[in-house]
């Protein structure tokens, strides 16, 4: 994605400017706008990739790592672009968005939609789960540290854990998180089976696309998953509290629950990921609520952060 972004910006001709959003659209989705800004700030080839020609949508020139806004202004003026008061004087006149692109994010979105066809919120047999696996990922530059902590469902006792580290270059972009993290956790997933449910730090079907990272992980590896997120991305919390939970509905349909622990007024947002019902997802997560974040993902987060800091202590 980095190379694709730089290749697009390299197409902006002298005397023209584009915007972070226009480059993101040429990648295939405007949600990549913030990433485009990050890529420009890290550009180390200002000759081939003229990041000075990328400005904000309203015409403000924005920052420039090659010498600050003042130098960016001088460079743009040297190309015949009128800049007044820190803005491009006539954006329509100078604006460029005639990119040649294969829209890589659109292709990834198509892959997501194909995967979503395999999403199931039931499972055959209906036998009780024996283990819950919390999974989380921490990052340090281009290095990703994934952790899984395996807990016995009945006793809540930890029975195993593992940590892995790989290099990753796929950037963070909303709704594309699965493509960033699935390669990172892949080596941890190979021994899991249908008697195990994975609790993932992210959304399941409680997602604008109805297919969050917990669902994508479940379909990718063919395993039951639960999404436990700290932010509500869509839906409406409805009805009364039933114990420590309330329903969340999207378009009138049950999509998940907000679940609150006795130690936190802030809840987490629980939804089915794959091969599990909404009720099962809630009941299993309830068993592990002590702090705000349920124990499986809380422990996995601690393990991933410890690995990122260079220690592996509990």
Domains annotated on the chain, with CATH: 2-104 (1.10.10.10), 115-309 (3.30.2170.10)
Cα separations (Å) of 243 from 65, 281, 285?
A: 53, 15, 13
Task: Yes or no: say if 54 and 42 are a contact pair by the CB < 8 Å rule.
Answer: no
Helix (H) or strand (E) holding 33: helix 33-41
pLDDT for res 314: 44
- Give the contacts of 63 (CB within 8 A, at least 6 positions apart): 41, 69, 72
Q: Quick one: how far is CA 77 from the chain centroid?
A: 38
Strand partners, 253: 250
pLDDT for res 245: 94
pLDDT for res 125: 65
pLDDT for res 265: 81
pLDDT in tens, 38-96: 999 999 898 899 999 999 999 999 888 878 899 999 999 999 999 999 999 999 999 99
pLDDT for res 127: 67
Residue with tokens 């584009």: 18
- Given the residues 8, 26, 36, 51, select the one marked as catalytic: 51
pLDDT for res 191: 79
In the residue annotation, 51 being an active-site residue is answered as: yes
Task: Yes or no: say if 285 and 235 are a contact pair by the CB < 8 Å rule.
Answer: no
Task: Yes or no: say if 235 and 255 are a contact pair by the CB < 8 Å rule.
Answer: yes
The Cα 300–Cα 314 span in angstroms is: 10
Q: Tell me the longest C-alpha to C-alpha distance in the chain.
A: 71
pLDDT for res 278: 94
pTM of the model: 0.87
The Cα 95–Cα 51 span in angstroms is: 14
pLDDT for res 165: 94
Helix 33-41 with 20-27: angle, nearest 10 deg: 110
Helices (H), the chain: 2-9, 20-27, 33-41, 68-78, 91-94, 104-116, 177-185, 213-221, 278-286, 295-309
User: Over the chain (314 residues), what is each successive 10-residue block's mean pLDDT?
Assistant: 96 97 97 94 91 94 87 94 93 96 95 95 79 95 93 93 92 91 93 87 94 96 94 92 93 94 88 95 93 94 93 50
Tokens of 24: 């993101």
pLDDT for res 141: 86
Residue with tokens 């100078």: 94
């Amino acid at each position: 994605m980095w190379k694709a972004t730089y290749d697009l910006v390299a197409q902006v001709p002298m005397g023209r400017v584009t915007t972070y959003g226009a480059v993101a659209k040429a990648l295939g989705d405007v949600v990549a706008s913030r990433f485009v800004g990050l890529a420009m700030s890290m550009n180390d080839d200002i000759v081939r990739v003229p990041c000075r020609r990328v400005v904000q949508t309203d015409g403000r020139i924005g920052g420039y790592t090659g010498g600050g806004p003042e130098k960016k202004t001088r460079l743009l003026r040297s190309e015949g672009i009128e800049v007044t008061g820190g803005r491009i004087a006539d954006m329509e006149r100078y604006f460029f968005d005639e990119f040649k692109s294969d829209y890589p994010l659109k292709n990834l979105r198509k892959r997501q939609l194909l995967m979503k066809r395999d999403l199931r919120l039931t499972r055959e047999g209906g036998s009780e789960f024996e283990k819950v696996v919390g999974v989380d990922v921490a990052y340090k530059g281009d290095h990703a540290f994934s952790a899984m902590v395996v807990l016995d469902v009945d006793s809540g006792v930890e029975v195993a854990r593992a940590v892995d580290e790989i290099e990753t270059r796929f950037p963070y972009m909303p709704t594309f998180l699965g493509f960033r993290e699935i390669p990172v956790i892949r080596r941890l997933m190979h021994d899991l089976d249908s008697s195990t449910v994975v609790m993932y730090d992210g959304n399941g079907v409680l997602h604008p696309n109805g297919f969050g990272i917990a669902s994508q992980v479940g379909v990718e590896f063919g395993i039951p998953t639960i999404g436990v997120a700290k932010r509500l991305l869509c839906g409406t919390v409805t009805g009364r509290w039933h114990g420590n939970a309330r329903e969340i509905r999207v378009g009138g349909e049950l999509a998940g629950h907000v679940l609150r622990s006795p130690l936190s007024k802030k809840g987490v947002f629980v939804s089915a990921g794959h091969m599990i019902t909404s009720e099962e997802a809630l009941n299993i997560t309830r068993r592990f609520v002590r702090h705000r974040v349920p124990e499986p993902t809380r422990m996995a987060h601690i393990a991933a952060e410890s690995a990122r800091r260079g220690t592996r202590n509990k």
